[in-house]
């Protein structure tokens, strides 16, 4: 934390001003209505495009004739009904909420499920309605293309939504009570998810020594001046008078009585509140809620995966590793020659790493540093570090230094996707939470590599690894592989 001015009103006013208009309080509903409209138009347009492709390029150009599978007015009604069905299914999958998951994985999975359910429903109706001749080609095109186009349309819509919030539209000003690690983590998440429309304008804290300081973090989006700590509980009424609309109570280690007192104070002042539960600090992203006879309970999530998924993952790893090794063999040869020409020493860098269930294995990379560099030192985050060779800078910037790990994947020590393997001496210092990383086979790439700054220590990004372990699926693995390839092409995420 750094010292800043203690002018209370100035801190709150530093947040982007909100346009005062009638529709701003209803902006969330407007966004949802716009999303529903966009979904309806996307589905309708996809069905109609499939229709015209069939009667045109796929069947011969010309007007609709009596021999066409179905006439346009009739097909338009079918397409509109299908669009309504898709909207109902999207709502069932909770895809009209504004929460955004890492990599949009839950959204992608939800749209995939919607596509399957809608296809099953439409095909069932086609089977029972025999009075009209349906074109299987038309519906195959429509039902296949609709989930894909829905996903991309929603990505565009999401970017527009983020742009609105970055311009100060519909942002609800929030206050976080608790300037500790959990409160900071919450603020970081809110700044990294502008689509939620929640703008942290300040912290309150029971520790009087923190008043007048600012909270900052090193990764993701962080205000240049940080977020100010405005005071303690006594400062809450003044914050509300300056436009704060929601209070997050982030004191997971506080007593029940203390949290209850803050809740009563929020109720007394008439401000909405939300509490970060005590379980968060100890079980971050590892608990789920359920109920028995109306009694709410929480339990630890089951992180086990099915044997079918493990078999499919190993098959994908083996096939893709083999293909990549064959296709990239000329590049591997070129890099090996360049490393040998650039500096003395071996082409490959070999190191012990800890993998699945704590088993150690030999980990390979192209050597990117001089041979006198410490073998088990921290990976340099600075691309101009003098330990890095000229060729090393290039292969690290493009992530090509990771290519030899395809041999680790081929042998079964690693997977294409998974938590990064750590050095044994670091694993020895793991606590119970960090050891959850060892439940999955380590990977060449993962959520951390495409979501965070590589200069941060691997074990410092535990939340990304836990997210992957809890959401493992073939769909997630393929999404991460595709995003990794795109990042390598753009040269993003190195170091």
DSSP state string for 262-281: HHHHHHHHT--EEE--THHH
Tokens encoding 78 = 């079918």
Q: Decide if domain 2-7+171-283 falls under CATH 3.40.50.720.
A: yes
Q: Between residues 475 and 412, which one has the greater pLDDT?
A: 412
Report DSSP state, residue 422: B
pLDDT of residue 495 exceeding 70, the answer is no
Cα 325 from Cα 405, distance rounded (Å): 10
Mean per-residue pLDDT for 441-453?
Answer: 79
Within 10 angstroms of residue 331's Cβ, the number of other Cβ atoms is 11
pLDDT of residue 218 exceeding 90, the answer is no
Mean of the per-residue pLDDT values of the chain:
81
Sign of CA dihedral 201, 205, 211, 213: negative
Q: Between residues 56 and 264, which one has the greater pLDDT?
A: 264
Contact between 298 and 284 under an 8 Å Cβ cutoff? The reply is no
Q: How high is the pLDDT of residue 313?
A: 95
Mean per-residue pLDDT for 81-93?
Answer: 95
The Cβ-side half-sphere exposure at 279, using a 13 Å CA radius, reads: 11
Tokens encoding 424 = 């044994």
Mean per-residue pLDDT for 97-112?
Answer: 72
Q: How high is the pLDDT of residue 14?
A: 45
Q: How high is the pLDDT of residue 16?
A: 47
Q: Tens of pLDDT along 48-60? A: 999 888 876 555 4
pLDDT of residue 356 exceeding 50, the answer is yes
The pTM score is 0.67
pLDDT of residue 268 exceeding 50, the answer is yes
Q: Between residues 293 and 455, which one has the greater pLDDT?
A: 293
Alpha helices (H) in 167-255, listed in sequence order? 181-192, 236-241
Q: How high is the pLDDT of residue 293?
A: 66
Mean per-residue pLDDT for 419-443?
Answer: 89
Highest mean pLDDT among 78-82, 281-285, 455-459, 461-465: 78-82
Mean per-residue pLDDT for 358-375?
Answer: 87
| 240 pLDDT tier (thresholds 50, 70, 90) | confident
pLDDT of residue 335 exceeding 90, the answer is yes
State which H helix or E strand residue 341 sits in: helix 329-342
Tokens encoding 410 = 């081929």
Domain spans of the chain?
2-7+171-283, 25-166, 307-490
Share of the chain above pLDDT 90, in %: 36
Residue 35 three-state SS: helix
Residue with tokens 């982030």, as numbered in its chain: 250
Cα 300 from Cα 245, distance rounded (Å): 33
């Amino acid at each position: 934390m750094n010292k800043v001015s203690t002018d209370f009103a100035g801190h709150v006013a530093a947040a982007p001003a909100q346009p005062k208009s009638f529709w701003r309080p209803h902006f969330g509903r407007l966004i949802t209505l716009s999303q529903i409209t966009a979904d309806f138009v996307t589905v309708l347009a996809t069905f109609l495009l499939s229709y015209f492709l069939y009667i045109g390029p796929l069947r011969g150009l010309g007007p609709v004739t009596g021999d066409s599978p179905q006439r346009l007015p009739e097909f338009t009604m079918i397409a509109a009904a299908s669009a309504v069905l898709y909207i109902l299914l999207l709502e069932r999958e909770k895809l009209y909420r504004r929460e955004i998951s890492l990599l949009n994985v839950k959204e992608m999975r939800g749209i995939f499920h919607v596509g399957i359910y809608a296809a099953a429903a439409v095909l069932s109706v086609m089977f029972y309605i025999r009075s009209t001749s349906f074109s299987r080609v038309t519906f195959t095109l429509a039902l296949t293309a609709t989930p894909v186009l829905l996903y991309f349309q929603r990505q565009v819509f999401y970017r527009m939504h983020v742009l609105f919030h970055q311009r100060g539209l519909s942002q609800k000003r929030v206050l976080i009570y608790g300037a500790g690690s959990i409160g900071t983590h919450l603020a970081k998440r809110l700044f990294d998810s502008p689509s939620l429309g929640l703008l942290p304008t300040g912290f309150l804290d029971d520790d009087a020594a923190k008043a007048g300081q600012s909270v900052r973090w090193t990764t993701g989006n962080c205000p240049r001046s940080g977020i100010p700590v405005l005071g303690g509980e006594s400062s809450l009424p003044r914050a509300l008078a300056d436009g704060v609309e929601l209070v997050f109570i982030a004191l997971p280690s506080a007593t029940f009585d203390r949290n209850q007192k803050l809740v009563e104070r929020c109720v007394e002042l008439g401000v909405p509140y939300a509490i970060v539960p005590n379980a968060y600090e100890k079980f971050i992203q590892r608990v789920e809620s359920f109920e028995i006879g109306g009694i709410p309970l929480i339990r630890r999530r089951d992180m086990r995966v099915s044997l079918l998924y493990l078999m499919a993952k190993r098959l994908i790893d083996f096939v893709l590793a083999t293909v990549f090794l064959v296709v990239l063999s000329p590049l591997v040869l070129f890099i090996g020659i360049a490393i040998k020409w650039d500096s003395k020493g071996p082409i490959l860098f070999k190191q012990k790493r800890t993998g699945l269930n704590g088993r150690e294995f030999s980990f390979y990379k192209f050597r990117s540093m001089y041979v006198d560099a410490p073998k088990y030192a921290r990976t340099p985050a600075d691309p101009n570090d003098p330990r890095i060779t000229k060729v090393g800078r290039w292969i690290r910037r493009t992530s090509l230094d990771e290519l030899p790990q395809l041999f680790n994947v081929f042998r079964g020590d690693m997977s294409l996707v998974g938590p990064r393997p750590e050095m044994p001496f670091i694993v020895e210092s793991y606590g119970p939470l960090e050891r959850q990383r060892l439940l999955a086979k380590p990977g060449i790439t993962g959520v951390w590599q495409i979501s965070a700054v590589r200069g941060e220590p691997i074990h410092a990004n535990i939340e990304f690894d836990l997210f992957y372990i809890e959401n493992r699926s073939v769909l997630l693995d393929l999404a991460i592989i595709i995003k990794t390839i795109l990042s390598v092409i753009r040269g993003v995420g190195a170091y």
